[in-house]
């Protein structure tokens, strides 16, 4: 198994406020560890941001499939400010998606540090 550290970034997102946009989708035959996540407000006013994991994988001792969950919801980010909403690391399995949303379209600059295990 190879461990590959990567950065995933998007200059501005989401394309439409209120419609979460995928920052990262875990490729086939891969487990990904999200090590860090930074959301920066590039707007001229405060915005709010949300981070979701969309998952339909199963396991981990749970009989039902995973569901969509919020890692953070409606976090206020002041003008020129940034936040790191993850408290710890997040594991994503094949097909899991990390989504970002904002109260204003194209006003978050987002960077994630990940490790892909293949």
- The helix, strand and coil proportions of the chain, stated in percent and rounded to the nearest 5, come to 0, 60, 40
The reported pLDDT for the residue numbered 65 is 87
Distance CA 12, CA 48 (A): 14
Mean pLDDT throughout 77-81?
98
Q: What is the pTM of this model?
A: 0.94
Say whether pLDDT at 91 is over 80.
Answer: yes
The reported pLDDT for the residue numbered 58 is 82
pLDDT tens profile 27-72: 999 999 999 999 999 999 999 999 999 998 887 677 788 899 999 9
Peptide bond into 14 cis (omega under 30): yes
Tell me the Cα Rg of the chain. Answer: 14
The reported pLDDT for the residue numbered 64 is 80
Domains within the chain, CATH numbers bracketed: 3-117 (2.60.120.1330)
| Burial of 114 (C-beta count, 10 Å sphere; 0-12/13-18/19+) | buried
The reported pLDDT for the residue numbered 48 is 98
User: Which residues on adjacent β-strands are paired with residue 27?
Assistant: none
């Amino acid at each position: 198994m190879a461990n590959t550290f990567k950065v995933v970034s998007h200059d501005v997102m989401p394309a439409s406020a209120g419609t979460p946009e995928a920052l990262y989708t875990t490729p086939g035959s891969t487990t990904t560890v999200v090590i860090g996540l930074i959301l920066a407000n590039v707007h001229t006013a405060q915005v709010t941001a949300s981070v979701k994991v969309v998952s339909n994988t199963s396991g981990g001792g749970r009989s039902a499939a995973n569901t969509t969950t919020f890692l953070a919801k409606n976090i206020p980010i002041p003008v020129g400010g940034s936040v790191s909403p993850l408290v710890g690391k997040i594991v994503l399995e094949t097909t899991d998606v990390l989504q970002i949303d904002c109260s204003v379209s194209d006003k978050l600059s987002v960077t994630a540090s990940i490790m892909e295990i293949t």
